[in-house]
Amino acid sequence: MTKQSFIRGTMILLVAGILNRILGFIPRITLPRVIGAEGIGLYHMGWPFLSVILTIVTGGIPIAIAKLIAEAEAERSEARIRSILRISLLLTISLSLIFTVVCVAGASWITSHLLTDSRVYYTFLCMSPMIPIIGISAVYRGYFQGRQNMIPTASSQIVETLIRIVMVLICSYVMIPYGIEYAAAGAMVGVLAGEIAGLLVLAIHFKHSKNQSPPAAKIQIVTNKIGGRLSNLWRILRISIPVTGSKLIGASSYLLESILIAQSLAIAGISTSLATAQYGALQGMIIPIILLPSALTMSLSVSLVPSLSEAAARKDTKSIHMRLHQALRLALVTGAPFAVLMFVLAEPICTFMYNKPDVSILLKMMAPVALFIYFQAPLQSALQALNKPGAALINTLIGSTIKLILIYWLASKPEMGIRGAVFAINVNIVLVTLLHWNSVVRLLKFRMQGSDLAKIVAAMALSGLCSYAVMYTPWSPAEWLRFTASCIIGFIMYLLFIILFRLIHQNDLIRIFKMGKKFIR
């Protein structure tokens, strides 16, 4: 099986992640124009509940598989790798089928009592079959990531995105004459089609990898099969349960957040349809823009788990510090220009993408904390890889509790409304990131140079001023031309400043270009 280094594996996932984010914005830009903000609200309203279910089914299992298989590969134990995979599949499929039946049987009660808008019923029914499909896909991705082969994960994500783009738009457009609730359900059918395609790609890769396994691995005899399987099951549960708990807190917080936002907006005197539209604008328009640059940090996080686990198994503290420093520095340096442009150009971004300049205030509020989002993911992965998922769980619980209290307090005020909810979400992002950082520092005695952070802030401020001047100086009557020039100048100036401040060197750029040529080939 093909195995990649930490950096190369990250780059493979990064290329796939960037393609997915760019392609994924096609339906995000066009879907609001087809079904409107209210339809987007219905489309997204069922996701928080599904996220809770998927977290229970898959939350910690992929990370556990990646970690245990990476350790087994270090010991060259092919038999244990196969045993871990079989047990994980059995556990995930069993949980998936149980929760799918529960969701389908209880769809009417869930949508009318928990999700605050009964029109989401058909969308909820269409998303329920995704539970076993996403569960099985997660197991296979964990398997390939544990073997440090990121190509199957990357290719399945790209195929899933391409199919989803086409089917979401076709299905929602076909169903729009029947009403907004049916159009939102049609969009969810398109998502289901994409998940099925992604699973098929993973299955093909897995079959191909089995055919390439060495003969010795195929005829390896497993002694004490029952004891070995129970031991592997215990290892999977020991790692996955705390990770699942941590993610479950986040997913439950997401569910309660959606419920509390709707109820708080109602207390503030906002109608149900308008509250659904505002929630749709936040979750379907603003959050995706904020998360667009996180393609790199997600790639780094996925690659970090097996990489740090393998280094920890060798007790190689130097490699752990080096790889974590690489990940955090890359997350900051690459995420910074996007945070600046989202703040400076919030109004034209929302105008050109969604034709809704009025929601730009939400983007401007969230842009300054975007860097904390990009910084948070590698920190959480480091805690999980180094057997400290409990610390991540406690940090997430503290942040989620404060967020929910603030949402209920602020969003229910008529003068705050949806902006109060955004402020609460920002507080949660900053607090959890700082708590994760504190946990990592205490665990590893890890530190980053403060001068690097100061240089990044300076580069952000200077490039932001340049971008602002190009956009809002009336040198051309064409707003789209000023916007395009502002983005280009902002990125160029940022790159020049980080080279000037020695945050990135010419050798780094040459290495990136050389790696890019290899990937293209």
Q: Give per-residue pLDDT as tens, 246-276.
A: 678 777 877 888 888 877 887 888 877 777 7
In this prediction, residue 152 carries a pLDDT of 84
Q: What is the mean pLDDT of residues 203-220?
A: 63
Query: What total number of domains does the chain contain?
Result: 2
In this prediction, residue 423 carries a pLDDT of 92
Same domain, 183 and 53: yes
Amino acid at 180: I
Q: Extract long-range pairs of 410-413: CB within 8 Å, 24+ residues apart.
A: 410/264, 411/260, 411/261, 411/264, 411/265, 411/268, 412/264, 412/265, 412/267, 412/268, 413/268
Same domain, 218 and 358: yes
From residue 289, alpha-carbon distances to 70, 295, 376 in Å are 34, 12, 17
Q: What is the CA radius of gyration of the chain?
A: 23
| pLDDT band, residue 116 (cuts 50/70/90) | low
Same domain, 194 and 323: yes
Using CB atoms within 10 Å of the CB of residue 35, give its burial: 0 to 12 exposed, 13 to 18 middle, 19+ buried: buried
48 with 200: CB under 8 angstroms? no
3-state secondary structure of 148: coil
CA angle 302, 46, 259 (to 5 degrees): 100
Domain closes at, from 390, 415, 448: 448
| pLDDT band, residue 5 (cuts 50/70/90) | low
Cα 61 → chain centroid: 16
Residue for token pair 């607090």: 431
Same domain, 194 and 243: yes
In this prediction, residue 519 carries a pLDDT of 44
369 with 222: CB under 8 angstroms? no
Per-residue pLDDT at 221 exceeds 70: no
Domain closes at, from 421, 448, 475: 448
Compute the half-sphere exposure of residue 387: CA atoms within 13 Å on the CB side of its CA. Answer: 10
Nearest-angstrom CA–CA distance, 402 and 248: 16
Q: Is residue 242 part of a domain?
A: yes
Nearest-angstrom CA–CA distance, 29 and 35: 11
Same domain, 370 and 499: no
Per-residue pLDDT at 14 exceeds 50: yes
Domain closes at, from 448, 481, 506: 448
The mean predicted confidence, pLDDT, of the chain is 80
Q: What is the mean pLDDT of residues 165-175?
A: 88
- Dihedral, CA of residue 517, residue 202, residue 20 and residue 278, to nearest 10: -170
3-state secondary structure of 374: helix
| pLDDT band, residue 380 (cuts 50/70/90) | confident
Backbone region of residue 15 per phi and psi (left: phi > 0; alpha: psi in -120 to 50; beta: other values): alpha
In this prediction, residue 62 carries a pLDDT of 76
Task: Report percent pLDDT > 90 for the chain.
Answer: 16
Same domain, 482 and 411: no
Q: Is the dihedral of CA 142, 144, 150, 153 positive or negative?
A: negative
Q: Is residue 385 part of a domain?
A: yes
Nearest-angstrom CA–CA distance, 319 and 335: 24
Q: What is the mean pLDDT of residues 48-74?
A: 79
Q: What is the mean pLDDT of residues 214-236?
A: 58
Same domain, 68 and 152: yes
Cα 288 → chain centroid: 10
Q: 284 or 137: which carries more pLDDT confidence?
A: 137
Structural domain boundaries, residue 152: 6-12+30-448
Q: Is residue 293 part of a domain?
A: yes
Compute the half-sphere exposure of residue 354: CA atoms within 13 Å on the CB side of its CA. Answer: 26
Q: Is residue 171 part of a domain?
A: yes
**pTM score above 0.75:** no
Same domain, 276 and 376: yes
